[in-house]
Chain A
Amino acid sequence: MRAALFLFILSGFLFHTDKIIGQTFSVADIPDSLKISAHAVIRLSEKVFEVRGKTSATLTVREATTILDDSGKDDDAIVVYYNKKITIKSYRGSIFDASGKLIKTIKSSDFKDESAVSGFSLYDDNRKIYYRPMVASLPYTVMYEVEYQLNGFINFPEWMPVNEYSVSVQNSSYQIIVPAGYSFRYKGFNIPEPEVVSTDKTVSYRWEIAGMKAVEDEIFSPSPEEFLPVVIAAPDEFVFEDYPGRMDTWRNFGLWSSQLLEGRNVLSDETVAKMQAMVAGIDDPVEKTRAIYDFLQTTTRYVSITLGIGGFQPFAANEVEKTGYGDCKALTNYTRSLLAAVGINSYYTLVNAGNNAHDLWLDFPCQQFSHAIVSVPLEHDTIWLECTDNRQPFGFLGMGTDNRYALLVTDSGGVITRTRSYTFSENTQCRNMTIDLDETGNGTATVNTRFSGLQYDNVSDLLYQRPEDQKNHYYRSIPYSNFQINHFEIQQEDKPVPTILEQLSLYIPAYATLSGKRMFLLLNPLNQYNLSQKAGKERKNDIVIRRGFWDADTVEFTFPQDYRIEHKPENISISTPFGEYSTTISSENNHIRYIRHLKLFSGRYPASHYSEMETFLRQLQRSDQQKAVLIREN
């Protein structure tokens, strides 16, 4: 059962008492349609958020989930997260068998209480209580109720009745109760308008969904927030840790955020002087920024710390100056202070990070961010600085922060902008390979590959690993059974778009397989496309290709003189709206040259186009596996 992790965005849930009476949890009551592709069924979920004041609210959650199979058991645990801002007032649970009969009442002493921090975090007050039901016979139903007290909030809890695959929903509701006259906004996606009930003292808004079938994972899908029901809600005015703010507009939310930065940008005179000395003689603002970024990367490091205004306010710049570490907020704020010292204006920039994160809900200003970066506006271009990575190339944004809306926090308020995107022709992997084959099919190969743009991100982790680890990486990842790496080198190249050059020389015994007088030669040795999923009966989601790329491979084979080509695959050229693919195979004497291009374009297409796309991908997958056949003369 998913209880929300209240870290940055408050997302949580609760209940409505009169509904549950009389409800039983007999598995027989689950409609068959909700069992299709489902590991678990949410029988009932009721979440009530009640605003008591500007900084006080309660959240009650009652949820019952039926576990249908062993996979469903993976999330049968009741896990309730809390921290200093969101405390738990009460909690309890019970377990029912398939017939709906109560088989266990879970007492609060049955729950375990633990830190909810994973990995090394210097300070983090997030905790969890959890309980793992142990039920011998499937199916069974786990129900729990939790009551939270919120001491300060920005958004209201977000509601997403389904947020995982293969779980269906019988009935789920969300209710927001506010004092009469309290002003707030809401927005629903993929869900009808709420039922509104007013009394003298309160106004209640209630959303409900029923009979929602399990969602299946489909490749090339949009982020789940785009196609699943979501309700977001937020007050126009709020107070968080004594910082009052408005977020009816992005400008106002930015004003609040800038308040949190006030007075935190002071550096020692010594550091200011040092920065100025460092850039003395440099006129170009790009080069000045680069010098500051270099300094940042050599003198600081990222350490996770969740302290201060619920994780919204950065440590002051002079703290980072002193300790040399900080989280994303602290390092972003510090970088801006360093830039300011040399007269470069920059912005503290909020983003919602993640490879497949949903883009900002632009028309609904509220707290939607999980990460901070720096943007440096220059005359012709903007430089983006990721401050938490000591090895990030200057100005580069990886897949966690590229191509999305972001909020610049300026003195005069928030301004929406868009981060850098990389086109398919920038995200390249360009490979040149030669393979010389001897009489027994053993190959001696050289491989030179350049990875650029976002494809740089695919290999950048390797760049600074120990040579032994790099070598082991190649041994593990190169798909031959038996080979030796004679030489390898991986280096960053000085290019406007980040680029890595990788050079390998390999000895591959039995590269070509022999059967009698024939030699079989796989033409595309290192870049086989693999479509790992077949469409189900019907594609539901739009097709989204978030990031385009372009792979170009040239492989030159030299084979023994006494062989001739018996079979050579046809050249192929396919052009579709999604991408292009071509192979060109030419030969001369004892040489074969194989050239392959694959371009995938970023874009969005209706679900009905999926079979066309799948056909394309399967065609290229098939083509990638093709072999040439050589035969020994005499």
Chain B
Amino acid sequence: MKTHPVIIALVTFLIFFTARPAAAQKDPVKYGKIELSELEMTSYDKDTTAHAVILVDYGTSSFNYSDHSGFQLQFSRTVRIKIFHKEGFDNASAMIPLYHSADDKEKLADLKGCTYNLVDGEVVKDKLTNDAIFTEKFTKNWNHVKFTMPSVREGSVIEYSYKIVSDFLFNLQSWYFQYEIPVCWSEYRVTIPEYFYYNRSMYGYESLDINENSARQEQFSYIVRPDRAISNANTQQGSVQVLANYWRMAAKDVPAFKEEDFMTSSENYVTKIEFELSSIKFPDQIPKSFTQTWESIDDMLNKEDQFGGQLTKKEFVKDLADAINIQYQSPQEKAQAAFDLVKNTITWNGMNDILATNNIRKAFNDKTGNVADINLILIALLKGVGIEAYPVILSTRDHGMIHPSHPTVSKFNYLVAQVKINDKTYLMDATEKYSPAGLVPFRCLNLKGRVIKPEGSDWVNITPAYSHKQIIVNDMTITPEGLITGKQSVQADGYAALDMRKEIYAENTPEAYIEKIKKQDPEITIQSFEIKNLDSLNNPITRLYIMDLENQVTIAGDLIYLNPMLKYGMSENPLKLEKRNYPVDFGYPIDETYILKLTIPEGYIIEEKPENAIINLPGNGGKFIYDVTLLGNLLQIMSKYTITQTLFTEDQYNIIKEYFNHIVQKHNQQIVLKKAL
């Protein structure tokens, strides 16, 4: 939801803070008080290989009142970093993003910094000067303040501190407890007067050492002018004790965060806390609710003009809906026609959102829009042809996970359609030109989404309806000289088909695509080709080659050695690291089959062949079959592996890694042909 500072202006209520919270805990860091031991440190004992370490990172968020701006958030942060090696120098540069709207902006205050070096036993200080601080207009709404610390060398301790004063109450600063370098101590304290409610969402794999919540009294002086619409109270002036919610969160010795392969967004794994404004309630005021419970989010979205408001628009698709209704009878055909029409006429502008840009009619006329525009148009058209359809909001893989325990709307960035036909539900996304209806793009496969209905909104699993499926059949003959010729068919379905179609359409024509392929591998000569079902998206696509393959065998006298997988085996394990800290997430099921039918030269026999094998992943998570049979002079090899369980926890890492090891090992094995005497 694009929450606007206007919400603040609506509160016709003035209050002056005069008192600060009583006796708080001691601050974990005092700016400028560097310990000699910090300068003398030569490594971080918990991770001696770290190039730099955050010694302490301390932030606070609280509320201020200013006469002309009303309530403001005040964020302050002090961070102290020890640099051990030159490779850690990047940590001496920093960037602070600041939000601004047309008439208001976040203000950076009291930015100061200092580098400390130990030179011949003396502490030498170099201050960050104003001429080393720059502001860059990054986008329309964001400025970046950038600075870099002076005199940084191996052994330096750098420290900087700043405040951000913000009128944007929805922008209570998040806090990261984890970075790409380790953190010794990270602490965030947040004080929120009882008028404001924020949802807190905690992410990541590291636990907090301190997570305290207490109520405390704060004293205010105030002037209140109640809203006449709901209260007869007089203007009041005085001083009250107001209850405030106080959080103190701290983590000690947080290890460095490392990206791993087969991960969704690092935002899903790094340890952090986020806040989302859910409601504001002042005494004698109507509470202003933002998000609070999933039900209130559902309700808000249904009422939101750029969401629910769009679902009432159907006039603009009426003609198209009528045409579909005349041409098609069954709901399946109608849904397919509606999907194709939207997909083929409206181009995705690459933007993700759960809200329409303006209104979907405009996007329809412009023939381009964001993902919400496109799929809301799809829903409108589906409804127009009498099919039940609802928006499903979700968060893409690179955007972060949705946690049903934390009601928050800002975590969603994508919208697809849920379509009900004859009691079966399908998910549809009309942004991908080469997807069949019912295939949601890989980016959406992030476990959960929420279907928004006028009544009965609920969670839905974003389960892929398709897998990444491919069948390679090589029907070939080998000559005594070792040349392999024949026919190859690659049939791709689901996500594999989408990949192949994208590759082909990346070129001007299928012919141009083949020309490109021909240049890629000197060992393959393609004599002729055929592509079947290129545009028949509901069917698997098939690519046929008549081809020659050279350099696949070793010939030694009467013997021919060859790997029956030819060039099509899995030659390396995709998971090679020793251990894994986070889950392996494949997104979709995988199903890869390879068949070789090889006619061996007259007079040759099989001298040796690999053993057959079947390997199962526990709990039907996947299966690998490798089978070699000989029928006369026809050698037949089948290799098939599946991965049906798409998410493996870090504890299961060795199991899935070992599974791939078996496959690679089998795919390396050789067959020996021998000329019979």
A, B co-complexed:
yes
Q: Which residues of A contact B (CB under 8 A)?
A: 35, 37-39, 68-71, 112-115, 117, 120-124, 127, 132, 134-137, 297-299, 301, 303, 322-325, 390-391, 464-468, 471-472, 475-476, 479-482, 484, 510, 513-518, 520, 531-536, 566-567, 569, 614, 618, 621-622, 625-627, 629
With a CB–CB cut-off of 8 A, which chain A residues contact B515? Answer: 37
A618 — which chain B residues lie within 8 A by C-beta? Answer: 522
Query: Which of A299, A324, A626 has the most C-beta atoms of chain B within 10 angstroms of its own C-beta?
Result: A324
Q: Is B502 on the interface with A (CB-CB < 8 A)?
A: yes
Q: Within the assembled complex, what's the spacing in Å between the Cα atoms of A114 and B577? A: 40
Taking CB atoms, residues of chain A closer than 8 Å to B521 are 534
B507: nearest residue on chain A (CB-CB)?
A69
The distance in angstroms between the C-alpha atoms of A533 and B516, with both chains bound, is 10
User: Bound state CA distance, A579 and B670, in angstroms?
Assistant: 33
Q: Which of chain A's residues has its CB closest to B155's CB?
A: A298
Tell me the minimal C-beta distance from B566 to chain A in angstroms: 13
In contact, B136 and A324 (Cβ under 8 angstroms): no
Kindly state whether residue B356 has any CB partner on chain A within 8 Å: no
- Decide if B660 touches A481 in the complex (CB within 8 Å): yes
- Contacts A124-B136, A303-B148 supplied; 6 other A-B pairs, CB < 8 Å: A114-B138, A136-B368, A298-B153, A301-B86, A325-B148, A531-B522
Q: How far is the CA of A135 from the CA of B348 in the complex (A)?
A: 9
Comparing B22-30, B87-95, B103-111, B232-240, the segment that makes contact with chain A is B87-95
- B389 neighbours in A (Cβ, 8 Å): none
Q: Are B150 and A132 in contact (CB under 8 A)?
A: no
> Nearest B residue to A614 by beta-carbon distance?
B522
Q: Which residues of A contact B609 (CB under 8 A)?
A: 515-516
Q: How many residues belonging to B are interface residues under a CB distance threshold of 8 Å?
A: 73
Q: What is the distance, in angstroms, from B398's C-beta to the closest C-beta of chain A?
A: 19
Say whether B49 contacts A467, CB under 8 Å. Answer: yes
Across the interface, which residues of B come within 8 angstroms of A390, CB to CB?
A: 86, 89
A114 lies within 8 A of B139 (CB): yes
Q: Known A136-B347, A517-B608; judge A465-B668 contact (CB<8 A).
A: no
> Chain A residues with Cβ under 8 A from B147's Cβ?
122
Q: Are A323 and B346 in contact (CB under 8 A)?
A: no
B539 touches A (CB below 8 Å): no
Q: Are A301 and B89 in contact (CB under 8 A)?
A: yes
Complex partner residue of A482 from B134, B138, B665, CB under 8 angstroms: B665
How far is B136's CA from A68's CA once the two chains are assembled, in angstroms? 37
The minimal Cβ–Cβ distance linking B209 to chain A, given in whole angstroms, is: 24
B345:A136 contact, CB within 8 angstroms = yes
Knowing A69-B508, A534-B519, the reply to whether A518 touches B608 (Cβ < 8 A) is yes
Once the chains are docked, how many angstroms separate the CA of A518 from the CA of B670?
A: 9
A468 to B258, CA, bound (A): 11
B185-202 vs A, CB cutoff 8 Å, 1 = contact: the mask equals 000000000000000000
Q: A122, A301, A464, A517: which contacts B132 (Cβ < 8 A)? A: A122
Residue of B nearest to A113 (CB): B140
Instruction: Check if B672 sits within 8 Å of A135, measured CB to CB.
Output: no
A132 touches B608 (CB 8 A): no
- Residues in B with CB closer than 8 Å to A629 are 554, 556, 559, 561
Tell me the bound Cα distance from A177 to B344 in angstroms: 47
The reply to whether A534 and B89 form a contact with Cβ atoms under 8 Å apart is no
Q: How far is the CB of B509 from the nearest CB of chain A, in Å?
A: 8
Q: Which residues of B in the span 500-539 have a Cβ within 8 Å of any Cβ on A?
A: 502, 505-508, 512, 515, 518-522
Interface-side segment among B64-72, B317-325, B568-576: B568-576
The smallest beta-carbon distance between B612 and chain A, in angstroms, is 13
* Interface pair A481/B93, CB less than 8 Å apart: no
Q: Report Cα–Cα, A468/B89, bound state, in Å.
A: 19
Point out the residue from B136, B153, B522, B668 that lies within 8 Å of A513, measured CB to CB: B668
25 intermolecular pairs with C-beta atoms under 8 Å apart: A38-B508, A69-B506, A69-B508, A112-B139, A113-B140, A135-B368, A298-B153, A323-B151, A324-B152, A472-B577, A475-B576, A476-B576, A480-B572, A482-B665, A513-B668, A513-B669, A513-B670, A516-B608, A520-B561, A531-B522, A566-B559, A567-B554, A567-B561, A625-B551, A627-B561
Which residues of B are found within 8 Å of A324, using beta-carbon distances?
126, 150-153
How far, in angstroms, from A135 to B347 measured CA to CA in the complex? 6
- Interface assignment of B664: CB less than 8 Å from any CB of chain A: yes
Does B50 have its Cβ within 8 Å of any Cβ on chain A? yes
B51 sits at the interface (CB 8 A): yes
Taking CB as reference atom, which chain A residue is nearest B346? Answer: A136
Q: How far is the CA of A429 from the CA of B609 in the complex (A)?
A: 38
Once A70-B502, A122-B132, A531-B522 are accepted as A-B contacts, the answer to whether A515 and B49 lie under 8 Å apart by CB is no
Q: Is the C-beta of B632 less than 8 angstroms from some C-beta in chain A? A: no
